[in-house]
């Protein structure tokens, strides 16, 4: 009988210790999952914050480049282009180029597609403006055609901004479609 009591006591102690050990392991696993979940949320928040900063700067620099092109076109029509005029245009172009390069590594695919359209349009207008400045315009290039092309960039900028807002969860997809200049008509104009 004493042996039975000892075995029962040993089994009880082992069960108590084993249960405590299993409970501790379960708590450790739950804590690890909680830490991973928190870390995941922090990574999502940091990624969104990086994208937001990138988008703000890309939007600002693309708009400033567009404005600088407009100013340069006005200068071409009013007077001789001075070094300070060319420098201001080059600074705006370089700032946009740097932001666009950053966006290529940060932006979502939809935003990057629209940023690429903006970049191509700005590069095209810049080329026209510089050829006009040198007095060697391409076929059909005039200050008026360059001004129209520069004005169209604003539509592309609106579409890019709407895609950025949608990516950041600040607007719905319908707003993005309304801002898309190609959605306005079947031929994309």
| pLDDT digits 0-9 by tens, 112-157 | 999 999 999 999 999 999 999 888 888 988 999 999 999 999 999 9
CA atoms of 58 and 64, how far apart (whole Å): 10
Cα distance from N-terminal residue to C-terminal residue, the chain: 97
Residues above pLDDT 90, as percent of the chain: 48
Distances from the Cα of 157 to the Cα of 37, 47, 55, 119, angstroms: 37, 23, 12, 10
CB 69 within 8 A of CB 122: yes
21 pLDDT more than 90: no
Alpha carbons within 13 A on the beta-carbon side of 85: 16
What is the mean predicted confidence (pLDDT) over 10-15?
79
* Predicted TM-score of the model (pTM): 0.69
From the number of C-beta atoms within 10 Å of its C-beta (0-12, 13-18, 19+), residue 28 rates as: exposed
- Looking at residue 47, its pLDDT comes to 81
Q: Which residue has the tokens 């005039």?
A: 142
């Amino acid at each position: 009988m004493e042996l039975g009591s000892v075995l029962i006591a040993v089994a009880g102690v082992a069960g108590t210790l084993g249960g405590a050990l299993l409970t501790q392991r379960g708590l450790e696993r739950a804590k690890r999952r909680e830490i991973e979940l928190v870390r995941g949320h922090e990574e999502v928040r940091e990624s969104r914050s990086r994208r937001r900063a990138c988008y703000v700067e890309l939007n600002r620099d693309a708009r400033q480049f567009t404005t600088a092109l407009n100013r340069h076109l006005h200068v071409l029509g009013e007077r001789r282009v001075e070094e300070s005029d060319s420098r201001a245009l080059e600074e705006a172009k370089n700032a946009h180029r740097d932001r666009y390069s950053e966006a290529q590594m940060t932006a979502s695919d939809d935003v990057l597609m629209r940023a690429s359209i903006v970049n191509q349009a700005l590069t095209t207008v810049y080329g026209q403006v510089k050829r006009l400045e040198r007095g060697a315009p391409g076929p059909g290039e005039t200050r008026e055609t360059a001004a129209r092309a520069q004005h169209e960039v604003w539509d592309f900028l609106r579409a890019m901004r709407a895609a950025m807002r949608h990516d950041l969860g600040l607007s719905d997809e319908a707003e993005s479609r309304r801002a898309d200049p190609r959605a306005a008509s079947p031929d994309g104009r």
